[in-house]
Structure 1
Amino acid sequence: MTELNDLKNLSALFVEDDSYARRAMESILRNIFGQVIMADNGRNGLDVFGKSSVDVVITDLWMPEMTGFEMIAGMKQLNPELVVVVMSAYDVPDYEKRAENLGIFGFLKKPFTLSDFEAVLKKAGCRAAEIRRLTQ
């Protein structure tokens, strides 16, 4: 079992077009992961992912430039084992199913509680740490 301190060795990419949400979540992410990278849309998220070593991606689905669905598909082509957590305000069953078909780790429906967000991130981080150990 991965210790929570081990999560500080991991990096997270947070992709969200709402600047307020990015600022609000950054400190939470920094309390869990050692490195946090922020992106403001799907295209920038995919670009950052291609240039960085990222263990966990947390993303919105509906953003300008490129949707979260398109971004995740591009990331999964580069790293099929990538741990992805999706957030969405849209309560459409098809969205959750589409995200699951892309191999996401977790799905959070907005609005969600801080404790739910932290719990999913910690589980995602533990899974990413396990994957990292197995591939080293």
Structure 2
Amino acid sequence: MSDLKKLKLAAEGLKILYVEDNKALRENAAKLLKKFFKHVDTAEDGAIGLELYKKNQYQIVLTDIKMPNMDGMELAKHIKDINPKTKVIVMSAFDNSEYLYSSIELGVYRYLKKPVNIKELTDVLESCVH
């Protein structure tokens, strides 16, 4: 069985939230995520993402760091305060060790450097759902 089929089977019944301020990236990633997860929501910033999280209690949150209104690190902190078991994956185009250390302190599941390739993302998602 291929890794992608394994991910789809393992992700059944799980909800994922993708938070990204770049509209094109958000829409393309949502299309990809819908191939594996039945429940995929998106938000254009951390504040909207947090409101969605409070309503839906996603098992996985995938977020950019640099966004208006509330950045991904603040979003991750709020989510971890609500439910420490939520798997938060942080992505950033910035090679900033401060973000990396902050994400470790917050208990972020993974820190991915953009651009993220599909294989890397699906591998991380597969490890998340297991």
SS at match of 1:32: coil
Q: How does 1:115-126 map to 2 (within 5 A)?
A: 115-126=119-130
Q: Which residue of 2 is the match for residue 110 of structure 1?
A: 114
Q: Which residue of 1 is the match for residue 68 of structure 2?
A: 64
Task: Give the TM-score normalised by structure 2.
Answer: 0.91
Task: Identify unmatched segments of 5+ residues in structure 2.
Answer: 1-5
Match of 1:98 among 81, 102, 121: 102
Q: How does 1:9-48 map to 2 (within 5 A)?
A: 9-48=13-52
Pairwise CA RMSD: 1.4
Distance 1:72 1:19 in 2: 20
Say whether residues 1:5 and 2:9 are aligned partners.
yes
Q: CA deviation at 1:6?
A: 3.0
The question of whether the paired residues in 1 share the 8 Å contact of 2:13 and 2:37 is answered with yes
Deviations 1:53-75 (A, max 9, x none): 31100000110000111111111
Task: Identify unmatched segments of 5+ residues in structure 1.
Answer: 127-136
Task: Give the TM-score normalised by structure 1.
Answer: 0.87
Q: CA deviation at 1:22?
A: 0.5
SS at match of 1:37: strand
SS at match of 2:10: helix
Q: CA deviation at 1:97?
A: 1.0
Q: CA deviation at 1:34?
A: 1.9
2:91 aligned partner, one-letter code: M
Distance 1:27 1:51 in 2: 22
Distance 1:19 1:3 in 2: 25
